[in-house]
Structure 1
Amino acid sequence: MSKYALLFIPTLFGMSALAQEKKTDPAKEAAKTEVWEPVPKTVTPGGLPQEAPSDATILFNGRNLDAWHSVNDPSKPAAWTIDDGFFTVKKGTGNIETNKKFTDYQLHMEWRIPANITGTSQARGNSGVFLASTGPGDNGYEIQIMDSYNNKTYVNGQTGSVYKQGIPLANANKKPGEWQYYDIIWNAPRFNEDGSVSKPATVTVILNGVLLQNNFVVKGETRWIGAPEYKKHGATSIKLQDHGDPSPPISFRNIWIRDL
């Protein structure tokens, strides 16, 4: 072999190595990071943000409370007052809850403090939505509802609080007499066989388009007195509260839910 051929061999190896270096790194190919399945289901949104999407379950249709029953006596229908497209707490009849039970969900609901509201602090249009009603008493996980527009109270008990646990990130309340709306994302707790918590609940709360709770980690069932704690449960109803304070009662409308 000539000395010129010997010189050419390493040159070929060098050209081959250079060609390999110019190959596209698979990690830099767009197609390598494209995921095509599973294809998300199609959901038709409402015409407005507050309108129910196509896969929602309607919990109040503006005409009746057929989706709800009395907490004190589950065999009896909810006895709150139906009006023109909304319903109002009927004092003394007790809390109401949904017939259907849920685990993780997206909840939309609208509520109104009466324009002629009276009282102060917690006795001013007080109610609440319990995201998992675990029994006939005021146990479960409450997101507070009350007049916090111009009403001083303890901040872990104002509108948008995870009652006695999570202070809201803002006060986005409208004036009494105006309709307000909650959008709530609830991820229920998970439990081990022995009743211990394997994963705590989390909640995100938006009031009138303003974020109040950002994936808040719930410490247990909300309590008026005492520390929160968890008790094992599965799918549960959603409860609305008849608080019983002397001020005029709260009204609700346009309630829908999406299972997650």
Structure 2
Amino acid sequence: MRVSKRNKISALLVVAVVTGVSLTSYAQKRASQYKVHGRDREQPSVVTPGDRPSDPPSDAIILFDGKDLSKWQKGQGKPATWKVENGTMAVVRKGGSIVTRQSFGDCQLHIEWASPASGEGDGQGRGNSGIKFMGKYELQVLDSYKNITYADGQAGAIYGQYPAMVNASKGPGQWQSYEVIFRRPVFDDQGAVVRPASITAFHNGVLVQDHSELLGGTSGASRSYRKHAEKLPLQLQDHSHPVRYRNIWIRELPEPRQP
């Protein structure tokens, strides 16, 4: 008998209720079955986004207002050397990744970015950068417009773990936006994970990550956690491509409400 997609989802809901297993943990198990950057992973379907960046609310911390890099630095407190021009900041080749001077844990981030207008290169060699929450958990920045690469390395992916739900990319050189809710991991006194980190993300207004629980850090293939501070700097990655950023603001969030 052929089982419809809706019936499969209903069956999962029943299993979740009966066994106490959340759908998030189910998705996490499914994600863990794939090798990092596995080529056999299904590609996200393509949708066409609308246009409209978001203005910062009154309680936002402005991380980049188009004027200077005063809120940013390189490692060991060195000045950030990215190029500031026409209200944007751009990765400078060998300029190094930059981090915020302030540290953050749970947060809401708005950030706008644009890959090079030339559209040169392919795969991971085309408009590559990244946003690393706490310097450890990366939301991929990549020119993914008609650019095939491994699914967990495309724009909107949690790098090496979760592909974007859909590919909402605009063309090379066009401004794009991420709206992200990040929840930090919580550890007990022995360093065991009490609550994994999670990311909810909208790419150009389209949901691409729905409370995705991270399997660990996104650097390398280990996908494991190591206990760290409750707040750490946000990082923008230098991947040797002149990706531009603008209109970056962040809101610190309280702990999630308990029922």
Q: Does 1:209 align with 2:211?
A: no
SS at match of 1:99: strand
Partner of 1:95: 97
- Structure 2 distance, partners of 1:188, 1:226, is 20
Structure 2 counterpart of 1:41: none
Equivalent pair of 2:103/2:232 in contact (CA under 8 Å): yes
Q: Is it true that 1:65 corresponds to 2:60 in the alignment?
A: no
Structure 1 counterpart of 2:162: 166
Distance 2:224 2:93 in 1: 29
Structure 1 gap segments, 5+ residues each: 1-47, 134-139
Q: Which amino acid aligns with 1:250?
A: V
Distance 1:116 1:167 in 2: 25
Shift in Å, 1:49 = 5.9
C-alpha distance 85-94 of structure 1, shift in aligned 2 (>3 A)? same
Letter in 1 for 2:72: W
Paired-residue identity, %: 44
- Which residue is 1:236 aligned to? 232
Q: Find the counterpart in structure 2 of residue 132 from structure 1.
A: 134
The whole-number CA distance in structure 1 between the counterparts of 2:53 and 2:128 is 26
| SS of equivalent residue, structure 2 residue 103 | coil
Structure label with greater radius of gyration: 1
Structure 2 counterpart SS, 1:215: strand
CA deviations 1:225-251 (Å, max 9, x no partner) are 32201011121100000012xxx5100
- The match for 1:226 is 221
Name the residue aligned to 1:86: 88
Equivalent residue of 2:247, what SS?
strand
Shift of 1:77: 1.3
Superposed CA deviations along residues 82-113 of structure 1, whole A, max 9, x for unmatched, are: 00110000110210000000110000000001
Q: Which of 90, 98, 111 is the equivalent residue of 2:113?
A: 111
Name the structure 2 match of 1:250.
243
Q: Distance in 2 between matches of 1:92 and 1:52?
A: 31
TM normalised by structure 2 equals 0.76
Which ranges of 4 or more aligned residues in structure 1 deviate by more than 4 Å?
none
C-alpha offsets along residues 19-42 of structure 1, whole Å, 9 cap, x if unaligned?
A: xxxxxxxxxxxxxxxxxxxxxxxx
Does the 8 Å CA contact 2:53/2:177 hold for their aligned counterparts? no
Unaligned runs of 5+ in 2: 1-51, 254-259
Q: Which amino acid in 2 is paired with 1:233?
A: H
State the distance in 2 between where 1:75 and 1:144 align: 25
Aligned to 2:58: 54
Q: Secondary structure at the match of 2:134?
A: strand
How many residues align structurally? Answer: 201
Question: Letter of the aligned partner of 1:240 in structure 2?
Answer: L
SS at match of 1:239: strand
Partners of 1:131 and 1:226 lie apart in 2 by 18
Distance 1:104 1:249, change over 3 A: same
Q: Partner amino acid for 1:95? A: S
Task: Report the AA paired with residue 152 of structure 2.
Answer: N
